[in-house]
Structure 1
Amino acid sequence: MKIVKPNPPKEDQEVASRIHRRNFLRYLGAGSAFLTAATLASGCHKDDDDFNMGGEGVSLGSGDIAVLNYAYALEQLEAAFYTQVVNAQFSGMTATELAYFTDIRNHEIAHREFFKAALGANAIGSLEVNFSAVDFSKRDSVLGTAKAFEDLGVSAYNGAGQYLSNTDTGKVYLGLAGKIVSVEARHAAYIRDLISNGTFAADDVVDANGLDKVRTPAEVFTIAAAFIKTKINTSTLPR
């Protein structure tokens, strides 16, 4: 069984160190005011018992903080997965594929670090992930898992936006999430076409109205739970 410990590998730490959190937030148009707003929002929206440990497992908090921690958990999962993909390099991986997977890894680490910085003291800790079901030496296993993660991530962001508050802060969150989900969709399209060319917008993810799939937090965690060893209390997430 392959259990990936919370401590990130050296390559992960090097990438994260290049992402100066304050500069990254400024680049996204938020800056230090966003961090302050996030802290204030957590104080306004959370119930102390729920935030501290309202049930079994790591609490995500409540209100907008719960939604952000939800996204942070998924970005931790994806960053850990692609770090392992780049380190292991499945048999037959081309130089172009390695370059693209490295880009995806860097994007996911950047997303993870963004949420960690935005949440500040309200951020959940580093999660332990379980990739025992993935054979990182085999192309089909890696691509199949990558497809599942990317499709899941896009549907998770699509479903989470409705739960953000209709405050100025909540609207900032929504705008930033929109920038991130568009990148996740680019990843999904690339992975899908590696598996089968032309399936980047197949009807299992895009419906007849040209709209992408939406999943609720409960649906997302039901799927993601197989890859996350850390027990997470999802009871405070919006329903």
Structure 2
Amino acid sequence: MSDHSHLPAWREQSLGRRLFLQVSAASAASAALVVAGCDTSSTPTPTVDTNQILLPQGNQGMLYYAYLLSLAKSTTYQKVVDSPPGDLPAAERAIFADMRDHEVVHRETLKYLIDPTRAKALFPSDFAFILTRFTLTSRAGVLAAALQLEDLAAAAYPVIVPFFTTSNSYARTLLLKMSTVQARHAATVRDLLTPGSFADSTVVNSTGQLITKTPTEVLAALAPFLAPYVLSITCPDTNPSTDPGLCTANG
């Protein structure tokens, strides 16, 4: 199966010692800045956070954002297909294989719309999606992971699609079609958890409308799976919404 070639591979990684050292270093740096602040004879040198990744602005930023969602899901579902838990029925394994295939198609399609040169410079070589934060060794754990990712994607797409300018109507149309797949995935996983269900109050409001999430909110939800790296995005200046803070609301 074709894998993404522009971005570094997302893989499982243990944070342990590495994260401890990074947190310790950050604390030491903060203490040093406090001390320096008491010395009026010198100006503190600004520190650069090498773990901060700012996605491009405009249409490209939205494409990266959608690409990362598909990459997270295709990576997770590939793990389920490769090493399914013993209590996951064959019929449900087939469903996850189908969802994996859908996400691979999305991932590869979006890859062709992203600037590959900029992508290589944007992401560190060890950038990874941390699958170990999911419990993929049981049916319950697999469904919980899938529900979290599908709910995020279903809530994300209705927000990012309107940001695309008319000059990129092709990408906008593709994302609109992909959004319907995200909704069907989310509904399918909920049906597996509770047969006959479609949605509940955690994803649909009292008027029956989907509760959407801004890119900032979605990236915040994904943050534990991307540590120590922190992703952020600047939305396009042209925002069709009447809420100018749509992209950063509740961030």
TM-score (normalizing by structure 2): 0.68
Aligned residues between the structures: 190
Deviation at 1:236, TM superposition (A): 2.6
Structure 2 Cα separation of the partners of residues 207 and 8 of structure 1: 34
Structure 2 Cα separation of the partners of residues 91 and 210 of structure 1: 37
1:160 aligned residue: 160
What is the aligned-residue RMSD (CA, Å)? Answer: 2.5
Deviation at 1:8, TM superposition (A): 7.1
2:83 paired residue among 77, 83, 88: 88
Match of 1:234, SS state, is: strand
Q: Which amino acid counterpart does residue 95 of structure 1 have in structure 2? A: A
2:25 aligned residue: none
Structure 1 Cα separation of the partners of residues 225 and 87 of structure 2: 25
* Largest Rg, 1 or 2: 2
Contact 2:223 2:231 in 1 (8 A): no
Structure 2 Cα separation of the partners of residues 84 and 70 of structure 1: 22
Q: Which amino acid counterpart does residue 163 of structure 2 have in structure 1? A: Y
Deviation at 1:119, TM superposition (A): 1.1
2:18 aligned residue: none
Q: Does residue 143 of structure 2 align to residue 148 of structure 1?
A: no
Q: Which amino acid counterpart does residue 134 of structure 2 have in structure 1? A: V
Identity of aligned residues (%): 32
Structure 2 Cα separation of the partners of residues 213 and 172 of structure 1: 26
Structure 2 Cα separation of the partners of residues 206 and 134 of structure 1: 25
Relative to total residues, which structure has the larger helix share, 1 or 2?
1
Contact 1:55 1:233 in 2 (8 A): no
Contact 2:129 2:225 in 1 (8 A): yes
2:101 aligned residue: 106
2:229 aligned residue: 231
Match of 2:202, SS state, is: coil
Q: Does residue 58 of structure 2 align to residue 60 of structure 1?
A: no
Deviation at 1:114, TM superposition (A): 0.8
Structure 1 Cα separation of the partners of residues 65 and 49 of structure 2: 16
Deviation at 1:54, TM superposition (A): 10
TM-score (normalizing by structure 1): 0.71
Match of 1:207, SS state, is: coil
2:184 paired residue among 183, 186, 189: 186
